[in-house]
Structure 1
Amino acid sequence: MKLFILRPQPGADRTAASAAALGLDPVIAPLFSVMPIAWDAPEPAIYDALMLTSANAARHAGEDLLRYANLPCYAVGEATADAARDSGLPGIRVGPSDGNALVTMMAADGITCALHLAGADRTVVDAQGIAIDVCTVYRSEAVAKLPRAIAAGGIALLHSPRVGRVLAELASAEIRARLTLAAISTAAAEAVGKGWRGVHAAAAPRDAALLELAAKLCQKGAGQA
């Protein structure tokens, strides 16, 4: 059974390699292309923490990201944390897969002023009393139509709610009936609406947990996990 990886590069290649190692049949079919945006890096000394709610923020912020290496970095989920580590940031504090829950964690740690590096398309978080400055460091453009291979059906991985929304916009009723969706979070699962062969959320917001779910679905012929 085909396993469609809808996330953009470079994450798509990493997920495909991990899927192949599990004996799955990955097909890279990204619904987005991601591009960096030039940004003016604020003075690090005015912040208590760095906040990352997307792995792409770490990947596309560029060399200025390391100006904040002395700040504690709060990251949404393991995937974002891994991208931050790969970019050279130490002291990563891994939070839940929800931005508001991450802010709650920061507030509990006494953070009062944070810099949030994010994409142009993002969910506004509840600041919960923290002064949060946002810098946009990347943007992603959705494809105009689904990659042709997806029409044959199989299992599709949802790495974010936005991927789910774009898939829902582009997929016909016939394609929905042929696709089982494995989502990295409940929010991603809820973004796709109805009409699919099945929709399942991973036990944890990590790529490994998502692929574990996908493997179970493949073994059961995309039935109930």
Structure 2
Amino acid sequence: MSDRRRALVLRPEPGNARTVARLRAAGVEAIALPLFKVRPRAWEVPSVDAFDALLLTSANAVRFAGAGLNRLSHLPVVAVGEATAVVAREAGMRVAVTGQGDAAAAVAAARDFPRLLHLAGREHVAVPGTTRVIVYASEPVALASGALAQAVGQVVLLHSARAAARFAALAADLPRGSITLAAISAKVAAAAGEGWERIVVADAPHDAALVAAVTMLAIDRTRGRGDNAHHE
């Protein structure tokens, strides 16, 4: 970046590695510092005849649902965004609807599939009008002492409100005024609280847009862009 600032990526794997690779390809020095680790959860597959399609609000639902997903793979998929749709297709699933990052909007667009089964994470935003089953969870990762000190003077990427809140809590003793945050949405930015040097918000709620926002800091850090609000 223009003053050699680095970007800290807090999202769990495997997304963390992809974001780091994107940043480095854009010429931004990046550090992987996951705050959570995604783990599968035991779950019971409901009656497949009771549903018209699967609602996927995260690619992790495909990655961590396990063998139970095989019994549902014949159902079409309503994906919250393109990144989730890509992972579903790679798993051999048929994507019928792809949203733009908003679950409620994706459901509204799926009028042909009134009975949706939402394969969700333990921490999730409830989607009205759907049946939910929890198939994975993001567990907090214990960080090495002083690990977050790397954030001072740097840029921290926030992909979720949960990560934003945890980072803010863990960084309570750090000088907020020297840390810039880059959030995937205005809601995520709000979860981090105030007092930071600057907050920039991605133009769209997906990783590519967030990386683009961070890259723009290297081009022009003098404009007052941090207040402009635009997962997957």
TM-score, normalised to structure 2, is: 0.84
Q: Give, in whole Å, the separation in 1 of the partners of 2:198 and 2:121.
A: 29
CA contact under 8 A between 1:158 and 1:182: conserved in structure 2? Answer: yes
Query: Partners of 2:39 and 2:200 in 1: how far apart?
Result: 30
Mapped contact 2:189–2:201 kept (Cα < 8 A): yes
Question: Once superposed, which parts of structure 1, at least 4 consecutive aligned residues long, lie more than 6 Å away?
Answer: none
2:90 corresponds in structure 1 to 86
Match for residue 118 of structure 1 among 117, 120, 127:
120
1:27 is aligned to 31
Q: Is the 8 A contact 1:151 1:175 kept in 2?
A: no
Which deviates more, 25-34 or 91-100?
A: 91-100
Equivalent AA in structure 1 for residue 204 of structure 2? A
Shift of 1:92: 4.7
1:212 aligns with 2:212: yes
In structure 2, stretches of 5+ residues that fail to align are 226-232
Gaps of 5+ in 1: none
Q: CA deviation at 1:189?
A: 1.9
Amino acid at match of 2:115: C
Q: Are the structure 2 counterparts of residues 174 and 220 from structure 1 closer, same or farther at C-alpha, using a change threshold of 3 Å?
A: farther
CA RMSD, 1 decimal:
2.1
Which residue of structure 2 aligns with residue 136 of structure 1? 134
* Percent identity over paired residues: 42
The alpha-carbon distance between structure 1 residues 14 and 140, as it changes in their structure 2 partners (threshold 3 A), is: same
- Please give the alpha-carbon distance, in whole angstroms, between the structure 1 residues aligned to 2:222 and 2:29: 14
SS at match of 2:195: coil
CA shift, 1:154, in A, is 1.0
Larger deviation, residues 178-187 vs 27-36: 178-187
1:17-96 counterparts in 2 under 5 A? 17-96=21-100
Structure 1 counterpart of 2:161: 161
The amino acid of 1:70's aligned partner reads H
Q: How high is the TM-score relative to the length of structure 1?
A: 0.87
Give the paired residue count: 219
CA 1:105 to 1:4, structure 2 compared with 1: closer, same or farther past 3 Å? same
Question: What is the CA-CA distance between 1:217 and the residue it aligns to?
Answer: 1.3
Letter paired with 2:217 = L
Distance 1:7 1:76, change over 3 A: same
- Counterpart AA for 2:101: S
Question: Hey, what's the Cα distance between the residues in 2 that align with 1:95 and 1:217?
Answer: 28
